[in-house]
A and B are shown apart, each in its own frame.
Chain A
Amino acid sequence: MASGTGGATSTTERASDAAGAPRRALAARPIGLAAVGMVLLVAVSLPFAMSNFRLFQFTQVLTYAIALLGLNMLTGYNGQFSLGHGAFYGIGAYTTAIMIDRWDIGYGWTIPVAGIVCLVVGFLFGRPALRLEGLYLALATFSLALAVPQILKYFEHWTGGSQGIVLSKPKAPFGLRLTEDQWLYYLTLAITIVLFVVAWNLLRGRVGRAIVAIRDNHIAAEAMGINSALYKSVVFGVSAAYTGIAGALSAIAIAFVAPDSFNVFLSITLLTGIVIGGFATISGAIYGALFVQFVPNWAQDISKAAPWAIFGVFLIVFMYVMPRGIAGFLHLVWIRLTAPAVSREQGR
């Protein structure tokens, strides 16, 4: 990544590069579209191919994917560390649980409300965070992650204290002949698709370029007329909203919330997800989500502590050998395979 004075030129290059990008993107488009289509086809047919429990796990994968996409917007694209996104996941989950359990509101309404609550909280947290750079932001968000379970326990009247809140799984509406898990899976899948399309549109255009420009060199970005403060706090808010919606969906799917499930390790899980999936990539959210959902399950067979040891080792090893994650690695392979022989020669 460019730094210092070099950053100014690289940002402009990036901008002009992006202007020429659609033409090249057009060439790759059929293959990309085909891949997305295949993934969607598999995703839609999953409920008919597996048990309810497996399906429940894939619902979890989708909620993780939404949360990871949110975190990646902030940390990957905008360059703001957050070691505390588990807090927003928890706020989203509790918003939903409290609305359903205490106020008897339909679960469908609670999901957008959870998103909006997190948007506001994230924006408000992002506002002072503007003044914190790099490490200090990491510290502040890490402390947030450490403190949240305690705050949740404190407001016992609302949150049920350390007992948490038990919900019941919603039945499929409109007389659809689906099991509860199948219905929840489809609901989550639909929301995931909408949120991914929104994120994709947001990040590939003018707004996305501004967000990346702030990460690469915020002074140069400001000189080009980008309102850095506004963008950064809005990205914080949107990122928190995504994570909050993910939290809300997971609360509905698990039908239970408790303060200690939103501890600092959840935040580290989310960070692990974007490291494994790939910084500043959209598809990375899916690889990362598959990883954080299934690897601990397998590792659990070895020992209760094993999943975390494995997360830790993967975090460190990926930083050494694959800093751009699985998505970055696949991209590299793709370039190698498709580049004409001549330019490959030159590349060596």
Chain B
Amino acid sequence: MDILVQQVVSGLATGGIYASLALALVMIYQATDVVNFAQGEMAMFSTYLAWSLLQAGLPYWVTFLATVAIAFVGGLLVERIVIRPVEGQPILTIVIVTLGLLVIFNSVAGWIYSYIQKPFPSPFPSKPIKIGNIVFGAHDLGAIGITLVVLTLLFLFFQYTTLGLAMRAAAQNPVSSRLCGIRVSWMLGLGWGLASAFGAIAGMMVAPVVFLDPNMMGGIQLYAFAAATVGGFTSPMGAVAGGFLVGVTENLVGTYVSFIGTELKLTVALAMIIIVLLVRPTGLFGRTTVRRV
């Protein structure tokens, strides 16, 4: 029983990271109907920037905020410079451009920082927290906390600010929004900026666990895809729920199904994606898209 609770909590911790990245994917998907395949690599790159800032001697939380800000501006610039020219083109074109970004970020990170794994500090104490018989990692609890804070802020932003409303409007109905005077194209840019900032947070939360390395996001991005698919690409709340669900499932399956263990973790994500797409392509919380023929 204790093991079960422990596994669920640590599943929720990784789930929070998947949720952040999945939310980033869903935000871009909602605004542009495109999945950003470079999301994970952008997050990895932001985490390297954070590492550089820490090496330069900045305190952790200053670095944290600075990295989020840099990632936001970076995401905005990537959208303005790289994605803008192919706006409105066939999906295949945009997917290929984001794949191009993926390999560029990956190789530039390897170029600058080398492919050797680096340790990345956690802002939380390394001493585990004991409640009754159950031991929790402080980093796990901290990561869950940060995810929840960020999600709340995001919810408030979209629900109660004019800019948030404008962004939702631009995603839902670009033509009418433009007629109302919303600069739709810039809203897309802002969406990319926010998504990139989220990715940066996810990266900084996961790096202490998996160590910093240019390929660290491969598996995590796959889980974020699984989370977004399970929750539904059309529902931000679904993506978050999907993230936690996928994180917990991953841990429980890894612990209790002996032939899977840790060696087939990625395959579990693949199986989840395919099963959801076959049984319920819209995900648990997504709405069905109706297309005119």
Which of A31-39, A175-183, A309-317 contacts its partner? A309-317
Given the known inter-chain contacts A143-B269, A151-B264, A271-B96, please indicate yes or no for A312 contacting B85, CB distance below 8 A: no
For the complex, count residues of A whose C-beta is within 8 A of B: 45
Interface 0/1 of B92-105, CB less than 8 Å to A: 11011101111110
CB neighbours (8 Å) of B111 from chain A are 303-306, 309
A314 vs B101: C-alpha distance in the bound complex, in angstroms?
11
A146 vs B102: C-alpha distance in the bound complex, in angstroms?
14
Which of B57-65, B183-191, B270-278 contacts its partner? B270-278
CB neighbours (8 Å) of A151 from chain B are 264, 267
From A81, A275, A315, contact of B103 by CB (8 A): A315
Is B293 an interface residue when CB atoms closer than 8 A count as contact? Answer: yes
> Are A143 and B278 closer than 8 Å at their CB atoms?
no
Is A132 an interface residue when CB atoms closer than 8 A count as contact? Answer: yes
CB neighbours (8 Å) of A186 from chain B are none
Is A153 an interface residue when CB atoms closer than 8 A count as contact? Answer: yes
Q: Is the interface of B mostly helix, strand, loop or mixed?
A: helix
> Are A135 and B269 closer than 8 Å at their CB atoms?
no
Nearest-neighbour CB distance to chain B for A10, whole angstroms, equals 15
Q: Which residue of A lies closest to B37 (CB)?
A: A142
CB neighbours (8 Å) of A307 from chain B are 107
> Are B225 and A319 closer than 8 Å at their CB atoms?
no
Is A140 an interface residue when CB atoms closer than 8 A count as contact? Answer: yes
Given the known inter-chain contacts A135-B34, A150-B265, A151-B264, please indicate yes or no for A319 contacting B86, CB distance below 8 A: yes
A307 vs B90: C-alpha distance in the bound complex, in angstroms?
27
Q: Which of B241-293 contact A (CB under 8 A)?
A: 263-267, 269-270, 273-274, 277-278, 281, 292-293
CB neighbours (8 Å) of B278 from chain A are 128, 131
Is A103 an interface residue when CB atoms closer than 8 A count as contact? Answer: no
Given the known inter-chain contacts A271-B96, A315-B99, please indicate yes or no for A154 contacting B264, CB distance below 8 A: yes
Given the known inter-chain contacts A139-B35, A319-B86, please indicate yes or no for A308 contacting B104, CB distance below 8 A: yes
From A219, A304, A311, A315, contact of B97 by CB (8 A): A315
Is A83 an interface residue when CB atoms closer than 8 A count as contact? Answer: yes
CB neighbours (8 Å) of A309 from chain B are 103-104, 107-108, 111
Q: Which of A272-294 contact B (CB under 8 A)?
A: 275
From B34, B85, B218, contact of A146 by CB (8 A): B218
Q: Which of A133-150 contact B (CB under 8 A)?
A: 134-136, 138-140, 142-144, 146-147, 150
Besides the contacts A138-B95, A309-B108, what 13 more A-B pairs have beta carbons closer than 8 Å?
A128-B274, A138-B35, A147-B267, A150-B266, A150-B267, A271-B96, A305-B108, A306-B107, A312-B107, A313-B100, A319-B97, A319-B100, A323-B93
Closest 9 CB pairs of A and B: A315-B100, A312-B104, A308-B107, A305-B111, A305-B107, A312-B103, A316-B100, A305-B110, A147-B270
29 contacts between A and B (CB under 8 A): A4-B292, A4-B293, A83-B99, A131-B281, A134-B92, A135-B91, A138-B95, A139-B225, A139-B273, A139-B277, A140-B273, A142-B37, A143-B222, A143-B273, A144-B270, A146-B221, A146-B222, A146-B270, A147-B267, A147-B269, A154-B264, A154-B267, A265-B103, A268-B99, A305-B110, A315-B96, A315-B100, A316-B101, A319-B93
